[in-house]
Amino acid sequence: MGAPEPMSRAAVELATSSPDRTQAMAAAFAQLCRPNDVIGLEGTLGAGKTCFVKGLAVGLEVEDQAKVISPTFVLLRRHSGRLTLYHFDAYRLRDGVEMERIGCAETFESGGVSAVEWADHVAQCLPPEHFVLAIMVAGMTERHFRLTGHGPGPEARLDGFRQALSDWRR
Ligand SMILES: Nc1ncnc2c1ncn2[C@@H]1O[C@H](COP(=O)(O)OP(=O)(O)OP(=O)(O)O)[C@@H](O)[C@H]1O
Ligand SMILES: [Mg+2]
């Protein structure tokens, strides 16, 4: 039997029981976000990816919350706040060509926080260091979340998220 994985590498498992709770969790998540953080969101239609981004916008003090809606057809919406929120939606993409065409690499490094819905569609576009939040539908209003860190920086920060999000621990 090998040595157990160090705590910081283990995924953070969370759960919520309503859209409001998901938004509150996302707002708390935002408190730990830093410039140039990229969060890939995975989960089926209606899992709660946009709901999470709306909460992120609250935590990032985005000025016009009503404008935080799914960017499915425009691919990217930019929202000014304490940190700028870049909200991508790769639902209708099958690879990273269009993401690259709109300059996602520069956007990821422009000092804001990027959230990418359907990140699994454009995995090759994500920078080497990023987070992935996978959302699972566990019931009518139950959602399970699994946060992983990719690259040494995000991996090292997982324990901070685990502690700060203890109200939503599963
Ligand atoms: N615990 C919960 N967290 C988030 N959303 C929830 C929860 N319980 C129920 N819901 C409902 O699930 C739906 C989530 O919709 P949302 O648009 O956020 O999903 P999405 O993953 O972005 O979907 P899409 O793939 O279409 O972009 C909403 O109708 C919301 O009310
Ligand atoms: Mg969505």
Structural domains in the chain (count): 1
Mutation pick for ligand 1 pocket among 23, 39, 51 (CB with most ligand atoms within 8 Å): 51
Whole-number pLDDT of residue 3: 56
What 3-state DSSP class applies to 22?
Answer: helix
Whole-number pLDDT of residue 72: 80
User: Does residue 21 belong to any structural domain of this protein?
Assistant: yes
User: Does residue 83 belong to any structural domain of this protein?
Assistant: yes
Residue closest by Cα to atom 30 of ligand 1 = 19
State whether the beta carbon of 45 lies less than 6 angstroms from ligand 1.
yes
Residues sharing a CB contact under 8 Å with residue 153, sequence separation 6 or more, in sequence order: 129
Whole-number pLDDT of residue 71: 86
Whole-number pLDDT of residue 73: 84
Whole-number pLDDT of residue 6: 53
User: Does residue 136 belong to any structural domain of this protein?
Assistant: yes
Rounded to the nearest whole angstrom, what is the distance from the C-alpha of residue 150 to the centroid of ligand 2?
22
User: Does residue 5 belong to any structural domain of this protein?
Assistant: no
Rounded to the nearest whole angstrom, what is the distance from the C-alpha of residue 2 to the centroid of ligand 1?
39
Ligand 1 atom closest to residue 54's alpha carbon, by position in its atom list: 18
User: Does residue 149 belong to any structural domain of this protein?
Assistant: yes
Residue closest by Cα to atom 8 of ligand 1 = 141
Whole-number pLDDT of residue 8: 47
State whether the beta carbon of 128 lies less than 6 angstroms from ligand 1.
no
Range of the domain at 20: 10-168
Domain harbouring 100, CATH code: 3.40.50.300
Measured distance CA(40)–CA(21) in Å, rounded:
20
Burial 50-78, CB ≥16 within 10 A → b, else e: bbbbbbbbbbbebeeeeebeebeeebbbe
Ranges of residues in the chain whose predicted pLDDT is under 70? 1-8
User: Does residue 28 belong to any structural domain of this protein?
Assistant: yes
User: Does residue 3 belong to any structural domain of this protein?
Assistant: no
pTM given for the model: 0.95
Residue closest by Cα to atom 13 of ligand 1 = 46
Do residues 52 and 22 touch, judged by C-beta distance below 8 A?
Answer: yes
Whole-number pLDDT of residue 4: 56
State whether the beta carbon of 47 lies less than 6 angstroms from ligand 1.
yes
User: Does residue 2 belong to any structural domain of this protein?
Assistant: no
**Is residue 165 left, alpha or beta, with left meaning phi > 0 and alpha meaning psi from -120 to 50?**
alpha
